[in-house]
Structure 1
Amino acid sequence: MAGSTNNGTTSSSVARLIVDGATELGISRAKYAHLLGIAPEHLHDDLYRTPSATAIHIWELMVVKAPWTEVSPLLVGRSQLGSLGLWDYLLTSGPTLLDGVRDSSTYLAAIADNGTEAIEIVEDGEHITISHVNLADLTYDAASAIRSFALGLYHRRLSEAARRPLVPVRVALAAKAPRRHGSLAEMYGTRAIDFEVPVSSITFLASDLRAATPYAPPGLSAVLRRHAEQTLATAIPLHNWLDAFQVALRAAHGEDNVTLSSVAQRLAISTRTLQRRLDEHGTTWSEQVETVRREQITQLLRTTDLSMESIAARTGYGNARALRRAVQRWYGDTPAALRQALSAPV
């Protein structure tokens, strides 16, 4: 699986879901629009990963606006099958429901912060328990909302996969017992809910989860697992402002419009602010531009047989001589030697 570079981030599909929930609760977008990952070009592109801190902030805004016992059912209700992308189908396309749960646990990083969240599965005779562990730094109400949402999402997806409502044996929430929890009972399809336990979990009959998944195409889950590996490997995590800047810079480079003002415009800030923030991150405009050029040149040398003059023209160098000097400075070798090394079989 992909390494830990995506830790500290969640999928943009989850970010879209909680933004929609905040909108439904009447929370002004002005309260979170400034946060990293909420810009439309990031929020509506599944390639990007939203900082976990951004998602947590919006969860906390929601539980200030409404009780956590209402927030989690609201979000589960908005979670149509497919709204969470690939992960939804990993969970619902296994040969059995339990196979789907295992795949969803293995690839939890497809939607969640793998650094702080985990799904654990315990098979115990006639019962199978799915536990949700969240170690993020959260306020009490936000933690309660997220934990109950996670279990509610599993209940909904497994019922959708089974093509019938599954009734849990019991639900346990690591939260204080609320005065009323009718909304939770409706979400889970049972009133057998325990509170104030160490770990939140939902338990089903083993016979329910070991049953074949109706209409699951044979071999689909294997295809989805490979796709999940590729998706996680190619994701662009937005950990901080510098990540967002580099995304904007690469986009400008792809459109042959690499100027300080054009990138500042993409980020909706002034050129002076852009330069100040680069300085705060210990880098400069020229260093960042050179990094992007180096990435592109290396890629072109690896994957094409373009001449040095053509590569120089594509990457903003005046001529092949300037390109050779740059490659020599970066790698201590000529472009021709670097191309040969990059194309050599491993």
Structure 2
Amino acid sequence: MVSHAHQGTTSSALARLNVNAARRLGIPGSGYAHLLGVAPEHLHDDLCRPPTLTSIRIAELMTVHAPWPEVALLMAQESEVGSLGVWDYLITCAPTPLEGIRDAAAYLASVLDIGSDSLRVTEDGGHVRVSHLNGADLTYEAASAVRACALGLIQRRLAHAARRPLVPVRVALATEAPADHAPLVELYGTRAVDFEAPVSSITFLAADLRAPVPHAQPGLSVVLRRHAEQALASSVPLNSWLDLFRTALESAAGSAPPTLPGVALRMSISTRTLQRRLEEHGTTWSSEVEDLRRTHITGLLHDTDLSIDAIATRTGYADARALRRAVRRWYGQTPAALRSGRHPAGSGR
């Protein structure tokens, strides 16, 4: 499994789930649009990893507008199979639901922040218990909604895998009993819900989860696990405003060099504000563009057979001579030497 699991961030799919639920509650976008990772170019990019704090703040906002059991039910209803990406299919396409939930626990980082969330699957005789531990710094109501929703999502995915309703033997929530149980009864399909448990968990008959899935395709789980690893390895965590800016800058760098007004427009701020924020982070527009250009050029030299003239044209230099001057300034050597892997002593490269 990928060791670098981007702690402090979640998948953009989870952020989308929260935003969609907030919209269903009628919460104005102005209440969360400023949060890092909610801009459309990040919210709908499955390689982006918004900060965990973004989903936390939206969950807290929702529980200000509605009781936490209603929020939990609404979030579960907003999450159709596939909405959480490969994590959903790890459960629903496994040879048995039990194997699927074990894979989902192992690859929880593909959707949640494993710095604050974990899943544990335990077998006890004729029962299988799936425990969800959430240690994020949320308000009490938001934490209750998140924990209740997580168990509801697990039940729904396992039922989809089994291709039939799965009524849990027992649901235990690490929260006090709400005034109205009806949304939770609808969420789990049972009244067997206990409260004030040490850990939130949902328990099923082991026979239900061990039964082979008739539609399972041999070898598919291996492919899905590999995809989950690759997605984590290539994802981009948005941990700060500077990360957000650099993602916008990179996405603006197409066939033509990015422009300050163009990137400012992508970020929905003025050019003056953009320059001021860069100064606050100890950098400038020109140095950021040059860093991006250096990374791009170095990659082209190492990974392609493009001529120096072609690379100069592609990266916005007037000619090959200007490109050679830039490479010598950066690395103290020519593009040809850099391409061949000859690095000057003390360069660290």
Preserved contact between residue 69 and residue 145 of structure 2 (Cα < 8 Å): yes
Distance 2:143 2:219 in 1: 37
Secondary structure class of the residue paired with 1:209: helix
Instruction: Tell me the secondary structure at the aligned position of residue 198 of structure 2.
Output: coil
Paired letter, 1:45: D
3-state secondary structure, aligned to 1:95: coil
Is 1:19–2:13 an aligned residue pair? no
- Deviations 1:263-310, CA, capped at 9 Å, x for gaps: 112111111111111111111112211111111112211221111122
CA contact (8 A) 1:264 1:270 kept: yes
List runs of 5+ in structure 1 lacking aligned partners.
none
The SS at the match of 1:201 is strand
Q: Which residue of 2 aligns with 1:98?
A: 98
CA contact 1:5–1:237 (8 Å) conserved in 2: no
Deviations 1:138-177 (CA, angstroms, capped at 9, x unpaired):
1000000000100000001101110111121111111011
- Is the CA contact (8 Å cut-off) linking 2:90 and 2:100 kept in structure 1? yes
Give 1:174's aligned residue: 174
Name the SS of the counterpart of 2:253 in structure 1: helix
User: Kindly, what percent of the aligned residue pairs are identical?
Assistant: 62
Q: 1:144 and 2:144 equivalent? A: yes
In 1, distance between residues paired with 2:286 and 2:145? 45
Moved more, 9-18 or 317-326: 317-326
CA contact (8 A) 1:163 1:214 kept: no
Equivalent-residue separation in structure 1 for 2:110 and 2:35 (angstroms)? 21
1:335 matched to 2:335: yes
TM-score normalised to the size of structure 2?
Answer: 0.94
| Correspondence for 1:250 | 250
CA–CA distance in structure 2, aligned partners of residues 86 and 188 of structure 1? 23
Q: Which amino acid aligns with 2:272?
A: R
Q: CA deviation at 1:187?
A: 1.2
C-alpha distance in 2 between matches for 1:218 and 1:3 = 27
Q: Which residue of 1 aligns with 2:316?
A: 316
Letter in 2 for 1:44: H
Comparing 128-137 and 41-50, the one that deviates more? 41-50
Per-residue deviation at 1:322?
A: 3.0
Q: How does 1:59-78 map to 2 (within 5 A)?
A: 59-78=59-78
For 1:178, the aligned partner's letter is P
Q: Distance in 2 between matches of 1:130 and 1:332?
A: 57
- C-alpha displacement at 1:22, in angstroms? 0.8
CA deviations over 1:94-124 (Å, ceiling 9, x no partner): 1111110111111111111122111111122
- Distance (Å, rounded) in 2 between the aligned partners of 1:163 and 1:12: 28
Does structure 2 conserve the Cα–Cα contact (< 8 Å) formed by 1:98 and 1:210?
yes
Partner of 1:116: 116
> 1:63: how far off?
0.5
Q: Secondary structure at the match of 2:19?
A: helix
Preserved contact between residue 5 and residue 109 of structure 2 (Cα < 8 Å): no
Partner of 2:56: 56
| Residue 161 (1) aligns with residue 164 (2) | no
Task: String of CA shifts for 1:193-212, please: whole Å, max 9, x gaps.
Answer: 11111211111111111111
Number of equivalences: 342
Once residues 88 and 78 of structure 2 are traced to their aligned partners in structure 1, the CA distance between those partners, rounded to angstroms, is 14
CA distance in 1, matches of 2:247, 2:186: 43
Higher mean alpha-carbon deviation, 273-282 vs 181-190, is at: 181-190
Go from structure 1 to structure 2 and tell me whether the alpha carbon gap of 1:273 and 1:5 turns closer, same or farther (over 3 Å shift).
Answer: farther
Q: Which runs of 4+ in 1 moved over 6 A?
A: none
What displacement does 1:2 show?
3.1
Three-state SS of the structure 2 residue aligned to 1:10 is coil
**What code does the residue aligned with 1:311 have?**
I
Q: Contact 2:11–2:50 at 8 Å: present in 1 too?
A: yes
Instruction: Give the distance between the partners of 2:319 and 2:133, measured in 1 at CA.
Output: 56
TM-score (structure 1 length as normaliser): 0.94
